[in-house]
Amino acid sequence: MGGEHEEIKRRIEALRREIEKHDYRYYVLDAPTITDAQYDRLMAELQQLEREYPHLITPDSPTQRVGGKPREGFVTVRHAVPMLSLANAFSEEDLREFDRRVKSALGGEPYDYVVELKIDGLAVSLTYRNGIFVRGATRGDGENGEDITANLKTIRSIPLRLNQPVDLLEVRGEVYMPKKSFVELNARREERGEPAFANPRNAAAGSLRQLDPAVTAGRNLTIFVYGTGEMEFAHREAPASHSEVLKFLEGLGLRVNTHYQVCRNIDEAISYCRIWQNRKAELPYAIDGMVIKVNSLAQQALLGTTMKSPRWAVAFKFPPEQAETTVRDIIVSVGRTGVITPTAILEPVFLAGSTVSRATLHNEDIIRDKDIRIGDRVIVHKAGDVIPEVVEVLKEKRTGAEKIFTMPRACPACGAEVVRQTNEAAHRCTGAACPAQLLEGLIHFASRGAMDIAGLGPAVVKQLVDSGLVRDVSDLYRLTAEQVKGLERFADKSAENLINAIAESKSNPLHRLIFALGIRHVGERAARILAEHFGDIRRIMDAGYEELVAIPEIGPKIAESVIAFMHEPQNRALIERLVKNGVNVVAEKTTAAAQNGKLAGKTFVLTGTLASLKRDEAKKLIESRGGKVSSSVSKKTDYVVAGDSPGSKYDKAVQLGVAIIDEREFLDLIGE
């Protein structure tokens, strides 16, 4: 057994090294050598071996990047070497004055500079002991920061183990969000009615300070390292200059920005600053200036620091690029989830490398706060060099002909009522048949948790919409096999299978239909509660606010959403069309067998993959015997059924002492 165990250890270690190598090539060098599928296979093998041999898991394993439950808060940590802020220079004359101070303090010694891009992100420190990443922290006030180790481990461009062992190394770097990711994140937030981030720096900071590392992991952050703090070397010579530090860090497998230059004097440094001031729009990330540092570390030590900043470095801040233009109009668009977003149509103006003719205004509150009117002269800039934004209104230039904008009461795409719920900034279309929301609505309607129509995935839905065969969900139930055969990759048998699957969904339980309709805030649990309470969708259509909030687990937000949805004529007509097409709208009566079943009163949570049952099948078995299935583990949970690759629910069950059973034990329990 010992030999086999050693072989497993060697295989696990080899997989880790292989995955680390590919992480470095992908996230640091941007030069991958294997496909995503090949990478996934390596990771899957490592995860499987670590599940079978959990005592071999180490903190620096690639599988440990995202893990643990959300924290209640951040712990304060003290920086061994203070993370000082930089003094700012706003003009070339300011830079020459900085150079005069350096020259005077060095007393005629020759010196040179390193000039780097100033990344617009969040400064962090990374501590490695014996080459292993052990702690990460924010800059904070320079003396003390917050421990964000768990969040920083989710950033794949940060190695969990260095290429070479170093006794102790603290690295300073800037975590940032690429421009493309920033735009995509804001688009998702606006679709959900959440406030957009003002710039990539705020997005990076907000992402790093999430109490749940899984949220940080989904934000596509990355890092450039630019310096060191505390260092201990037993068997190596320390770098003598800042440019050598950058090469040393790069050699350890850390991500260093290659856009830096050693400059012999301040004139060369200023020239390099001018180059990037004109080229910054080309970069895939935001910069807000340049950093100029004396290159020699010995000279840096001689120059020393003030209480706040080093005397050997300065940040040259680019002047903000702004332009004056006119708001020609304010229009609204309907997003895929029904959010109504106002946009300013501008007199075209050249700004930060491109012509700007539109600027998103996000929501009505921002328009009111800035008092933006149609016809106003305004100042615009690009937030993070990416998103055009109205900075301020030049009210002194108003003529009196400007028009106040009001949000529409009816959706411009379908005419349904537009509502704004309590404590939300977004206005939303309530139309279930809104063409702007059609694609996403159909995908949700057919999904597994909803009507569960086999074969009706996103690609097929898109074909049905593009071909004009489906204009709302009720059209699905009028489709014929002949019509489906006209779609790409559909033959007689596959077309027949899809039509049969759609027909079978007509008999689904009422709670599935309620969830499938996509009523805001109504998830699977709320849909089931509504179905059980009312028993008929027509009763829900006529329910009042007081009746709804009186139902346990149905709060004001859900009640408001249900009323807004059910009172919209377009939605009522859609439900009537579904009824006409034979879709079930009545709840099954709870059978005596279920009420008195062997699982009556028991709450189950399912996690991982079961070998012989789909998740929905296990759920039906539990409910048919009187049990209840919950999506989260609590002290009230009776059993957690764990299959392969269980997630955080398994850990929570262990923590709370909840009974954990495998698939065989579950089947024995229910008598299968």
CA-CA distance, 268 to 400, in Å (whole number)?
Answer: 51
Question: pLDDT per residue over 273-316, tens digit each?
Answer: 999 998 988 899 999 899 999 999 999 999 999 888 899 999 99
Of the pLDDT bands very low, low, confident and very high (cuts 50, 70, 90), residue 351 is confident
Residue 436's identity, in one-letter code, is A
Torsion sign (Cα): 498, 500, 506, 510 = negative
Is 655 strand, coil or helix?
helix
Apex 478 CA angle, 475 and 482, nearest 5: 115
Q: Concatenated DSSP letters for 563-600? A: HHHHT-HHHHHHHHHHHHTT---BPPPPPHHHHTSTTT
What is the per-residue pLDDT for 592?
Answer: 47
Query: HSE on the CB side for 37, CA within 13 Å?
Result: 0
With a cut of 90, say whether residue 491 has pLDDT above it: no
Q: At what angle do helices 2-23 and 36-52 cross, to 10 degrees?
A: 150
Pairing of strands 603-607, 639-642: parallel
Identify which of 625, 622, 624, 590 has the alpha carbon closest to the alpha carbon of residue 606: 622
pLDDT at 590 over 70: no
CATH 3.40.50.10190, domain 592-670, yes or no = yes
Which phi and psi angles does 489 have, rounded to 5°? Answer: 70, 20
Instruction: Please determine whether the domains at 88-317 and 322-404 fall in the same fold group of CATH.
Output: no
170 and 228 Cβ atoms separated by less than 8 Å:
yes
Residue 470's identity, in one-letter code, is V
More confident residue, 376 or 234: 376
**What amino acid positions are annotated as catalytic residues?**
118
pLDDT by residue (tens digit) across 22-31?
887 776 776 7
Which CATH code of 1.10.150.20, 3.40.1390.10, 3.40.50.880, 1.10.238.10 fits the domain covering 429-580? 1.10.150.20
* 495-525 burial code (b ≥16 CB/10 A, e <16): bebbbebbeebeebbbbbbbbbbbbbbbebe
Please check the confidence at residue 8 and state whether its pLDDT lies above 80: yes
| pLDDT-derived band at 68, boundaries 50, 70, 90 | low
What pLDDT score was predicted for residue 259? 96
CATH number for region 2-64: 1.10.287.610
Phi-psi region at 417: left, alpha or beta (left = phi > 0; alpha = psi -120 to 50)? beta
Which of these, 279, 357, 368, lies nearest to 318 by C-alpha position? 279
Mean pLDDT of the chain: 87
Distance CA 61, CA 545 (A): 52
Is the CB of residue 251 less than 8 Å from the CB of residue 283? no
Q: Residue ranges per domain, the chain?
A: 2-64, 88-317, 322-404, 429-580, 592-670
How confident is the model over 494-510, as pLDDT tens digits? 899 999 999 999 999 99
What is the token pair recorded at 210? 């999430």
Q: 527-585, pLDDT tens digit by residue?
A: 989 998 898 999 999 999 999 988 888 888 899 989 999 999 989 999 999 999 999 99
Strands 76-78 vs 222-232: parallel, antiparallel or unpaired: unpaired
What are 196-211's pLDDT values in tens digits? Answer: 787 888 888 888 888 7
pLDDT at position 591, please? 46
Nearest CA-CA partner of 68 in 211, 207, 209: 211
User: What pLDDT digit, counting tens, does each position of 116-169 carry?
Assistant: 999 989 999 999 999 999 999 999 888 888 999 989 999 999 999 998 888 899
Work out whether the CA dihedral 209, 214, 215, 216 comes out positive or negative.
Answer: positive
Classified by CATH at the fold level, domain 322-404 comes out as OB fold (Dihydrolipoamide Acetyltransferase, E2P) (2.40.50)
CATH 3.40.50.300 applies to domain 88-317: no
pLDDT digit string, tens, across residues 42-57? 888 888 888 888 888 8
| Burial grade of 190 (CB within 10 A; 0-12, 13-18, 19 or more) | buried
